């Protein structure tokens, strides 16, 4: 059965809970959540990023999160909360679903960068 982007996004949004900027702040402050900006580098360079976030393009997330690859980033720990965001919430939902399928249990979607910045999260230059 063919799957559309709409179907993929619906499944990802069902699998990965959406959180508010206020909830993200709590996870960052009290649980050392890893914040990941999955936008492409030119997008991040143009707008900045959430303070403390790491930028990993959507296409690289699985490689950075898998300890068996040469590209593994040790910031990814299966018991650490992970908060993802992109420009509008689509790529972060898809990345979150991939991480859940890889065994990461505490994955949340913050949605879009605009939601984060307007919601009171601190922003820093890329």
SS3 56: coil
| Phi and psi at residue 119, to the nearest 5° | -85, 5
User: By the 8 A CB rule, do 50 and 123 touch?
Assistant: yes
- What domain range includes position 87? 5-124
In terms of C-beta density within 10 A (0-12 exposed, 13-18 middle, 19 or more buried), how is residue 13 classed? middle
CATH number of the domain enclosing 36: 3.40.250.10
Strands 107-112 and 82-86: parallel
Number of independent structural domains in the chain? 1
Q: What pLDDT is stored for residue 2 in this prediction?
A: 64
The answer to whether 82 and 34 have CB atoms below 8 angstroms apart is yes
Rounded Cα–Cα distance for residues 36 and 42 (Å)? 15
pLDDT along the chain (126 residues), means of 10: 86 95 97 98 97 97 98 97 97 97 97 95 94
pLDDT score of 30: 97
């Amino acid at each position: 059965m063919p799957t559309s982007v709409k179907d993929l996004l619906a499944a990802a949004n069902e699998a990965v809970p959406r959180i508010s900027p206020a909830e993200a702040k709590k996870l960052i402050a009290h649980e050392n959540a890893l914040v990941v900006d999955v936008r492409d580098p030119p997008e991040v360079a143009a707008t900045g990023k959430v303070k403390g976030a790491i930028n990993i393009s959507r296409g690289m997330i699985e490689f950075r999160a898998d300890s068996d690859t040469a590209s593994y980033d040790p910031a990814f720990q299966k018991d650490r909360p992970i908060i993802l965001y992109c420009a509008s919430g689509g790529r972060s939902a898809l990345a979150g679903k991939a991480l859940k399928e890889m065994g990461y249990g505490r994955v949340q979607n913050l949605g879009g960068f605009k939601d984060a910045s307007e919601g009171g999260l601190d922003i820093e230059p890329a």
